[in-house]
Amino acid sequence: MQDTFTKDPIDQIVETSLNEVLEQWRNEGLSDAEMLQKIDTVDFSEVYQSLASTVKEDSFTFFKEHMFEIALEEKSQTGEFFARQEQQWGKCFAASQTMYTIAIEAAEEYSKYISDNSDTQIVKDKQFTMLVLQHIHGRACQEFLEVLYMLRLGFADGAYARWRSMYELCCNAKFICTYGEQIAKKYFEQAETEDQKYTWAAGVTCNSGQVLGKKPNFNDIQDNCDIDPEWKKQYKLACLVNHGSPQGTFKRLANGPGTNCIPVGHSNYGIAMPAVQSAITLLWISYLFFSLFPTTEYMTRILLLQEWLDFLRKQYEETEKRLFGEFMKRNDENE
């Protein structure tokens, strides 16, 4: 059993150089004692530092002179991945892009419809709720697009971390819709402060009878906005992915179960879950937004988004099964 490290290249250079000098001294007739005396005068820390500095400078010069070649080579390899990714998941990505377009176009038309009716009392009574949900919906749409781009690039974990933000936005929007205009006003006004906490929800008497104290947290929001408990499990998983947790380190979405590798770049695995969940969340926030002042026109848009979600989910599930069905089946059997 080896109890020392194999020498690194710089150590080997120093050792080789020292052996050459010793051989030269022997040829010059120096005794072992004389050679040891000479060696004792050498400051090896300075030798190593000087050598390391030289190697660093040589390496820096090499990479500086060849950075465009290196970048071009990486770009070529990445391009090959993108081509395979589009070939494998292209229909799915097109479905996601279309859902984004449906949601954006509907939101633009809905905002114009509300603006045209801004003088009515019913709109005035919900002006802050409308303003807040309009911005939350817009932010959620942008994050949905960020999720899609990260999935195209093969970063499922990054996409899931962005879904986490979408989910938080939806919980905030649901809470605001549940507890009214004054909460929306507080949410809006807090944007002009440096307070990043959930202070805007303080003092709310929840439907459960709980009164939120001066320092509410996201769990308070989540527990009092009437959501499916299953979402809390998904949110917890997204937190593990997003934070420096052991689970997020060893069980990344991009790394298949039982796969003994360390992902450091693009991966075509783990795409379906963040794609589908971000689509569900986009439908959720769109429903909350369009329900503020419900009309047949915009309820029709919700129905369209619901049907499109079913279509989108089918595309991702079928593609995942086609690409990884056997792999996933084997791992399910081994658990």
What lies within 8 Å, CB to CB, of 12 at 6+ separation is: none
What per-residue confidence (pLDDT) applies to 180? 92
Q: Tell me how far apart the alpha carbons of residues 149 and 93 are, in angstroms, rounded to a whole number.
A: 9
Give the DSSP letter of residue 208: T
Q: Taking a C-beta distance cutoff of 8 angstroms, is the pair 208, 225 a contact?
A: no
pLDDT in tens, the chain (335 residues): 566 666 677 777 777 777 777 777 788 777 878 778 777 777 777 777 777 788 888 899 999 999 999 999 999 999 999 999 999 999 999 999 999 999 999 999 999 999 999 899 999 999 999 999 999 999 999 999 999 999 999 999 999 999 999 999 999 999 999 999 999 999 999 999 999 999 999 999 988 888 998 899 999 999 998 888 899 999 998 998 888 888 888 888 887 766 667 888 899 999 999 999 999 999 999 999 999 998 999 999 999 999 999 999 999 999 999 998 876 665 555 45
What per-residue confidence (pLDDT) applies to 258? 63
Q: Give the closest residue to 96 by CA, choosing from 235, 281, 324.
A: 281
Q: Tell me how far apart the alpha carbons of residues 309 and 193 are, in angstroms, rounded to a whole number.
A: 37
Q: Taking a C-beta distance cutoff of 8 angstroms, is the pair 238, 147 a contact?
A: no
Interior CA angle at 306 toward 86 and 88, to 5°? 15
What per-residue confidence (pLDDT) applies to 158? 94
List, in sequence order, the alpha helices (H) in the chain.
9-27, 32-40, 44-116, 121-124, 127-153, 156-179, 181-190, 218-223, 229-242, 246-250, 272-290, 296-334
Give the position of tokens 């009092």.
224
Give the position of tokens 């999720």.
147
Q: Tell me how far apart the alpha carbons of residues 262 and 230 are, in angstroms, rounded to a whole number.
A: 29
**Residue type at 107?**
A
What per-residue confidence (pLDDT) applies to 314? 98
